[in-house]
């Protein structure tokens, strides 16, 4: 096993691991470790021969982190859940969230944007990033009851 250490502003460990495995194969890329603020990250690879391909994936990694303030809302058209979208690269690509498969562009200011979720009817609302490859694995559901 080979450890490639790298420094970057932030990563989405699950998304970066998936991207490395998609590129190198699960038998060549084993995962990513994080150690805390101000410390390098590690990508665990099968051998030094995998480093060049891993560097391409790591340098193009554009992490998107999603959080939601609550997962249940009243189905009254007024109660609101707030999805927060955070990017970390100064040159981050725009973020489009799929709300039950309907694309909704999120306006980012200094890498942060929000999307308010309401419903007049009882339903389950699924929230995910459109084109999540090498960005995120986050998905949330908000239930309107």
User: 120 and 75 in contact (C-beta within 8 Å)?
Assistant: yes
Structural domain boundaries, residue 55: 2-60
Q: How confident is the model at residue 27 (pLDDT cuts 50, 70, 90)?
A: very high
What integer best gives the mean pLDDT of the chain? 94
Q: How confident is the model at residue 89 (pLDDT cuts 50, 70, 90)?
A: confident
Neighbours of 108 (CB within 10 A): 16
pLDDT at 38 over 90: no
The domain boundary residue, chosen from 29, 60, 91: 60
Identify whether residues 96 and 81 lie together within a single domain: yes
User: 123 and 75 in contact (C-beta within 8 Å)?
Assistant: yes
Helix (H) / strand (E) element for 104: namely: strand 102-106
Question: How far, in Å, CA of 50 to CA of 53, rounded?
Answer: 6
Task: Kindly state the percentage of the chain with pLDDT values over 70.
Answer: 99
* pTM for the predicted model, two decimal places: 0.82
Identify whether residues 72 and 55 lie together within a single domain: no
User: 124 and 6 in contact (C-beta within 8 Å)?
Assistant: no
Identify whether residues 24 and 93 lie together within a single domain: no
Average pLDDT over every residue of 19-43: 91
The domain boundary residue, chosen from 43, 60, 77: 60
DSSP assignment, residue 39? S
Q: How confident is the model at residue 96 (pLDDT cuts 50, 70, 90)?
A: very high
Identify whether residues 41 and 86 lie together within a single domain: no
The domain boundary residue, chosen from 11, 26, 60: 60
Pairing verdict, β 139-144 and 112-117: unpaired
The pLDDT assigned to 30 comes to: 97
Identify whether residues 118 and 72 lie together within a single domain: yes
């Amino acid at each position: 096993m080979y450890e490639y250490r790298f420094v970057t502003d932030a990563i989405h460990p699950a998304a970066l691991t998936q991207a490395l495995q998609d590129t190198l194969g699960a038998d060549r890329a084993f995962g990513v470790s994080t150690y805390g603020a101000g410390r390098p990250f590690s990508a665990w690879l099968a051998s030094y021969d995998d480093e060049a391909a891993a560097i391409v994936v790591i340098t193009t990694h554009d992490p998107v982190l999603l959080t939601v303030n609550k997962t249940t809302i009243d189905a009254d058209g007024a109660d609101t859940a707030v999805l927060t979208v955070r990017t970390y690269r100064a040159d981050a690509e725009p973020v489009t969230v799929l709300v039950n498969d309907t694309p909704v562009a999120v306006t980012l200011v200094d890498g942060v944007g929000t999307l308010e979720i309401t419903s007049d009817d009882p339903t389950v609302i699924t929230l995910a990033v459109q084109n999540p490859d090498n960005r995120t694995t986050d998905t949330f559901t908000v239930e309107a009851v």
